[in-house]
Amino acid sequence: MFIVTTGGEAMYEKLFSKGRIGLVEIKNRVVMSPMGTGIAAPGGGTNDDIIAYYEARAKGGVGLIESELCRVLDGAGAAEPCQLAARNLNDVAGLARLVDTVHKYGTKMFFQLHHPGGQGSSAIGGEPIVAASAVKAPTALETPKALEIHEIAKIESAFINGAMLTQLAGADGILLHGAHGYLINSFLSPYLNKRTDEYGGNLENRMRFLLEIIRGIRERCGGRFPLGVRLSVEEFLGKDGNDLEESCKICETLEKAGVDFLDVSCGGVPGSSDPCATIEPGTYEQCWKSYMAAEVKKHVNIPVIAVCNIKEPEVAEKLLMDSCCDFVGVARGHLADPEWCNKARSGKAETIRKCIGCLCCFQEIVNFRHVKCAVNPKLGREREFENPKHNGQGRTVAIIGGGPAGIEAALLLDRRGFHVVLFDPSERLGGTLNIADKGEGKEKITRLVDGMIAQVCESDIELRIGEEATVEKVKALSPCGVFIACGAMPMLPPIPGISGKNVVIAEDVLTGSAQLKGDCIILGSGMTGLETAEVVAKAGHRTTIVDMLPEIGQGISILVIFDIKRRLAEYNPVYLLGHRVSEITEGGVALERVDDGKRVFINAETIILALGVRPRQDIVNAFKADFPEAHILGDANRGGRILEATQDAYGQAFVFES
């Protein structure tokens, strides 16, 4: 799969070979695919934060960066409150500074020019949204206005102008976003395009808008400026949308029109049968859609970039070796670890922080916040966390607990020059991640833990694995700082019958240590409850999921919830939402409705508790008594997701002053 160079440096042969798009040589075959960040300037444009974000990935060794959405118009052309922009000459200086920063590392930069079309929001742009036709998305709040001919010409001019501005800024090329239901795609897709004029109907007419933009860019920017198109080559709309066969015809036409490369994506079109296909949850296999890029490649002679849910370099290497594509698009892998390329090339792929597909990144953008990552607390805060103090001077700090919070703090404090002693009573680091990876399709969490352990082993951290920390042991170290990351325990509220023999903990179900009998009721519909429900239902038990809240999965990404509900649907579980538990008996659970107090009894032989967690306060109090300045991290402070644990730990370790 990979070779070792004469210098002893392990590398992936194909992945780190040079490539070419048009006249631009690219130092390797890794493309950082476009992703929203929410950290550009409010109102559109560059700032120090977005430059630091892209610099971290360029420094990490990626060959080509395709930017996030870059608006060419304000108003209806705005997709996000904070995004890159190429609207007028005022944008050029900032774009040029971004390009110059990326170029320091030999990385090339293409800007992705974009208009949201019917996927936009009047609340962002302050204007009614527009599209090829007035087709309302099933979940949208607004119906777009169908563009008139003179408005089409204006938007085409804006795309052409945006290309000229990015070329003036020194960009290496551009990518036209023609996928995911956005404006260009709304013309291409027969599902979204219901026009009866020269811009609708047959494929030739539906391509007219895009081809006129391409022609205009070629006329104004010349033939040497690389130009590509991103396409949803499979819209998952059956006969109503573009399928792979139709999209290959589009690709052939684009090549004839002078396009230099194709970025092959899929889905994202409103009404698609698989809304997760564009941004996949962790249960989706790597490279599951490689067949799409492989088919496109059979029809064109220009480079093809495959966006294939790639997390690991060996998967990317195989994709290239199998000639599925010319370049691999690694998207969220670069959010999780900006050093993805450097680590792979230097033979340290095992230390890569792997994306786990939790989609916290996506959910933050949906909620109009800046992008965050559960496994990379620096994401979106690169400038803030750029220079940790190196003032440890070998002084000892003790960390109690080797879960994600404890590991995160330990690694940073080690980098800062402290002598870190990490206690954990288990034989494997990772804490509750070693339970979280037991659900269906959760292997990516196992690989994340493996990567974190590899990082710890590569550091100078002193490990006390399989050893329970005590106040006396920590005192003996004379530490200058103590960090308590002992985690949390399952919550057991004072419900009558909760200690019954028929009651088990969800974590014990996931690890296989609990015995299940007959019909099962799961109390709690958070991530743990839902993952447990899938394990239980798959084992053949009739399953009921109960929660006080009106919706399942509060706080979890909407795509993750869609994915797990779709998988659970095969087993027909019963959802009883808006119900609180009043009593657990040997025969089942007594419930009452939150809204009107109406009582109901559900029969079941096994009751499974997934009611959240509470901090291990006994351990926290014991250490705080002797170390009142101790820092409490992650679940030991407040139960939350991996995201909160790692962010909390990194932040506290960053500002720690002994």
Sequential DSSP letters for 327-349 = EEEE-HHHHH-TTHHHHHHTT-G
Neighbours of 598 (CB within 10 A): 10
Q: Choose the catalytic residue: 12, 53, 54, 182.
A: 182
Neighbours of 55 (CB within 10 A): 20
Contacts of 375 (CB under 8 A, 6+ apart): 336, 337, 353, 354, 355, 356, 404, 448, 642, 646
Dihedral of CA 184/186/190/191: which sign?
Answer: positive
User: Which H/E stretch holds residue 150?
Assistant: helix 149-168
d(CA 331, CA 247): 23
Sequential DSSP letters for 41-59 = -BTSS--HHHHHHHHHHHH
d(CA 174, CA 330): 18
Structure-token pair, residue 633: 């991290």
**Cβ atoms of residues 62 and 32 within 8 Å:** yes
**Cβ atoms of residues 400 and 423 within 8 Å:** yes
Q: Which residues pair with 30 in a beta bridge?
A: 328
d(CA 543, CA 642): 27
Amino acid at 518: G
Dihedral of CA 484/490/495/501: which sign?
Answer: negative
Structure-token pair, residue 526: 């958070």
φ, ψ (nearest 5 deg) of residue 298: -70, -20
Neighbours of 215 (CB within 10 A): 14
If phi > 0 it is left, if psi is from -120 to 50 it is alpha, else beta; for residue 401 that is: left
Task: Characterize the bridge pairing of strands 520-523 and 606-609.
Answer: parallel
d(CA 391, CA 384): 18
Amino acid at 361: C
* Nearest by Cα to 77 from 67, 61, 88, 64: 88
Task: Characterize the bridge pairing of strands 488-490 and 130-131.
Answer: unpaired
Q: Kindly list the distances between the CA atom of residue 138 and the CA atoms of 118, 146, 188, in Å, as whole numbers in the listed order.
A: 12, 17, 19
Helices (H), 270-359: 290-299, 313-321, 332-336, 340-345
d(CA 55, CA 231): 27
Question: Rounded to 5 degrees, what angle do the CA atoms 319, 254, 318 make?
Answer: 5
Residue tagged 């960040």 (tokens): 37
**Cβ atoms of residues 1 and 35 within 8 Å:** no
d(CA 286, CA 290): 9
φ, ψ (nearest 5 deg) of residue 244: -65, -35
Neighbours of 388 (CB within 10 A): 16
Does the annotation count 182 as an active-site position? yes
DSSP three-state, residue 439: coil
Task: Characterize the bridge pairing of strands 599-603 and 588-593.
Answer: antiparallel
List the catalytic residues.
Answer: 182
